[in-house]
Each structure stands twice: as structure tokens, then as C-alpha cells.
Structure 1
Amino acid sequence: MSPDVHTLYAVTEGTWPPAACRSLGAVVIRDGQGGGKRVSAATVCGPVTAEDLPRAEEAMRALGQSPLFQIRQGDEALDALLAAQGYGVVDPVNLYAAPVAGLISETTPKVSTFTIWEPLEIMREIWAEGGIGPDRIRVMERAASPKTGLLGRHDNHPAATGFVAIHGGVAMVHALEVRAAHRRAGMGRLLMIQAAHWAATEGASHLAVICTQANTAANGLYVAMGFAHIGQYHYRQKD
């Protein structure tokens, strides 16, 4: 049975964790320390009113972060409240999952993909080319094991990298980046297959991935590989 969307929300946080989090009433405030929206966005664990928002906004600003909420399935009332307060929608995201057993029937060509931890300098360079800098690498370092980095080679050159970690028996791929000169060569698919083989050795039942809805090429890849669309989330951000 595929994990449900709430399971994948937990896997996302377990494999891509904030530096710290604390509760202000029903609002969970995350300290992302520059690691991006996913580790900086507030979420809620109960009803929130317009009177609750200023305190949450103040807490986020105190961390040097703009007011930002992640809107998950079941947060429709919060979504409407934030819209009324002038928060705009940012980066709708799809969550996908597939059984590991169905992915490992395929293997990658020899010396084309590798699992490596700690990241090599070339992996850091590829991430940096895609805008994934030291703050996001520190997110990877915070994730509890089992975890590993992914490295792909194409035409005898380092071509792609990624990160995968396991939480609750589900492996999730993050920060998948393919160098511009090696795109359309199937490197994204090969790294996902490599991630599945690694996940199988670690006993994970499913491989999951997050993808912005605007990234049509990546969404198409995951669907073509047999990943099921489990759900979505989006952000509401105040300028």
C-alpha cells in the first residue's frame, strides 16, 4: 500500500529537517537557517484565527525569515484566512511515491551512478550550479541516517547529483540536479533507479520525491517511471 499524503509530509520533514522548530499555540515555527522554504515555512496543527497570525509573523521575522506558511491537505480554512490577509500562493508542489520493488527491476549501466556520503567536492559544485548552496547542504547533514548522496556520470564526466534519506520506511529523494550540458540524457531517471537500489538495501518499502508543479519535465519523468501522485502542498507568503 502506498503511503498517504500525511505520511509523506512526515517523511519530507524527517529527511529534509529544519534546524529547530517550536509551537506557538497551533502554529509550528521552523528555523530554516537559510535552507529554503521547505525548512522555513510554518505549519499548523489546529485551528488558527486572524488574531493568532501577528504573533506567528513576529516569530518568523525574529528568525530573519519572511512570514511563510505551508498549506497541506486539510488546511483549507487556513488557506482562505491567509488569502484574506494578503498572502499569495507560491510554489505548488506534487508529492509522488512508488514501491521500491517495482523500480529495482531496472539497473543502471556500469560506472554511471554511485551512492556516496559525505558529498564529494564535485557533487557540491553541481549543486551550486543549480542554486543549492551550503545552507541546503547543511540540511542534508542534519538529516538522520540512513542517508546518502547520489552521483551520476555521462560521457565520462560528472553529470548529476542528488540526496536521498529514509524516514519511517520511506526513502525520499531531494536536491536532484543535472548539469545543463548533460540534460536530456536520462540522468534523472538513472539517479532515481540508483536511489531505489540503495533504498532496497536499507529496507525501505517506497521511494518518494517532491516536485514543483511548474517543472513539467520532472513531473512527466516520475509519472512515466510509475510513481503515483499522492498529494500536494503549496505555500502562502506575505511580501
Structure 2
Amino acid sequence: MDAALARAFEETWPAAEYADAGGFRLGRGLGAGGRVSSARAVGPWKPDDIAGVEAIHRGWDQPPMFRVLDGDAALIAALTAAGYRRETPTAIMQAPVALLAGQTIPVLTTFAIWPPLAIQRDIWGAGNIDPMRQAVMDRVSGPRTAILGRIDDRAAGAAFAAIAAGVAMVHAVEVLPAFRRRGLAGWMMRQVAQWAANHGATRIGLAVSRANGGARATYDRLGFTEVAGYAYYAKNL
């Protein structure tokens, strides 16, 4: 994962606040999930820094959690020795905007809207994108949009996208169960690409759980390629 993609990954889904403990930076998520409630290595670290991270987590009343790139064998070993368990292996993928922006989207199938409509928030809420996660979207300072997807004259899908460092990152992709496996997610990603092109972005990035085989297959078909991976390491104190 190059520097621009790494920057976009963090800046387009920000925590409420940040703190440093040795070589780690951790986010205060306010209940918005692991992405914004985890610590990550940002410089040289020592095993004793892990305890410092845990102390900050306790002060924020959130469980200790680290987000670790798959190739960071030293940190994985240190966390495993400290009693952490691996959770939610995730792939980071990217595709050129030009690959997706050229295809004509069927009329009235997708829209790029900001701020989100109530129906988009309802679609997110029907999945696992609860109000705490939706609050993350409101913290983004750069260009951002909410994608609305429609099938059979029904609002059926929602997604969030934001741009940093020339990369449009996509988050919170949700399609209502009754409308899945009909290609709507693909059209929503093409709408992201058109919006991203209009705002000068050249790449689209996203993260997808390795357990979500359906979503991963969709992104593979669209031309996304995996560039990195990570997992969370958590324990109860």
C-alpha cells in the first residue's frame, strides 16, 4: 500500500480523536467500530508501548485493539505473546477510476448526493452502519458523497465515498437483502468512479472482509486488485 492510498485510507474514515503511545497511534471511535477504535504502528515501537496503548484504550472506555498489516510479523508476534487474538482479516483493494468511469449507468439507477437522504441512512441502519458509524462520515473534511442505488423504482443501496491524496475511498457499501445479486453494487461503484473523476481522483480504494466472498467477487469482476491486507488484534482486559 503506497503512501497516497494509506493516507486516504485513514483520512476518509477518521476517528473522533487520536493519541500516540510510543510508536503507535490510536483512535477514539465512540462506538463506530474497529477501524476508528484501533491502534496502528506509525513508527518504531517497543513491546512496552503495547501497555501504553492499553492504558489509553481503558481511559476511552473501549477494548484494546490493534490494526496490523499482514506483513508485520514482529508486531503480530508481540501481540500474540501478549494475549491478543486475530480477528476480521481484511483485504485492501484498488482500481483505476478510468476503468469504471466510462460505462453508461442506466437512468435513475444511481445518484451521488450530499448530505445523505433519510432513506440512505435507513438503508445503512438496516445493515451494520449504525448512527455511530454514520457519524464518521460527518467528520470527513475533504470531498465526500453518499451514493444512492435504486432497483425497481425502490431505493435499495447506499455507500459513502471520500477523497484524499487523489484516491477516492469507498466505505459503508450496503444493499438491502431483497435486492442483492442483481448488479446494483457494481453500478454504485461506477457512480463513485464518475464522481471521483469529476473531483480529480485517479484511483478508487476500498477494504473488504475476506469472509465476504460475495463482495470480494463483485470487486474482482469490476477490476479491483488486492494491494495489501490487515487484521485486527484484540483482547479483553
- TM bucket (normalised to shorter chain) is over 0.9
Cα distance between partner residues in 2 of 1:48 and 1:182: 46
Cα distance between partner residues in 2 of 1:30 and 1:124: 24
State the one-letter code of the partner of 2:159: G
Cα distance between partner residues in 2 of 1:23 and 1:52: 10
Q: C-alpha deviations, 1:115-147, integer Å up to 9, x for none? A: 111111100100000021111111000011210
Q: Could you tell me which of 138, 146, 158 is aligned with 2:143?
A: 146
- Residue equivalent to 2:127: 130
Cα distance between partner residues in 2 of 1:220 and 1:166: 24
CA contact 1:5–1:231 (8 Å) conserved in 2: no
- Residue equivalent to 1:158: 155
Deviation at 1:104, TM superposition (A): 1.3
Deviation at 1:6, TM superposition (A): 4.5
State the one-letter code of the partner of 2:200: G
Q: C-alpha deviations, 1:154-201, integer Å up to 9, x for none? A: 011110000000000000110000001101111110100000000000
Deviation at 1:11, TM superposition (A): 1.1
Cα distance between partner residues in 2 of 1:74 and 1:217: 25
- Residue equivalent to 1:211: 208
Q: How does 1:10-25 map to 2 (within 5 A)?
A: 10-25=7-22
Aligned residues: 236
Which blocks of at least 5 consecutive residues in structure 2 are unaligned? none
- Residue equivalent to 1:93: 90
- State whether structure 2 residue 59 is matched by structure 1 residue 36: no
**More displaced stretch, 140-149 vs 7-16:** 7-16
Deviation at 1:228, TM superposition (A): 1.3
- State whether structure 2 residue 198 is matched by structure 1 residue 198: no
Deviation at 1:5, TM superposition (A): 4.4
TM superposition outliers: structure 1 runs of 4+ over 4 Å: none
Q: Could you tell me which of 227, 230, 236 is aligned with 2:233?
A: 236
Percent of aligned pairs with the same amino acid = 41
Q: Could you tell me which of 217, 222, 227 is aligned with 1:220?
A: 217
State the one-letter code of the partner of 1:53: I
Cα distance between partner residues in 2 of 1:37 and 1:6: 21
- Residue equivalent to 1:120: 117
Cα distance between partner residues in 2 of 1:230 and 1:26: 24
Cα distance between partner residues in 2 of 1:139 and 1:186: 27
- Residue equivalent to 1:173: 170
Q: Could you tell me which of 94, 105, 108 is aligned with 1:108?
A: 105
Deviation at 1:46, TM superposition (A): 2.9
Cα distance between partner residues in 1 of 2:204 and 2:47: 38
State the one-letter code of the partner of 1:165: A
Q: Could you tell me which of 52, 75, 79 is aligned with 1:78?
A: 75
Q: C-alpha deviations, 1:54-102, integer Å up to 9, x for none? A: 2210111111110000002552211110011110101111111111111
- Residue equivalent to 1:63: 60
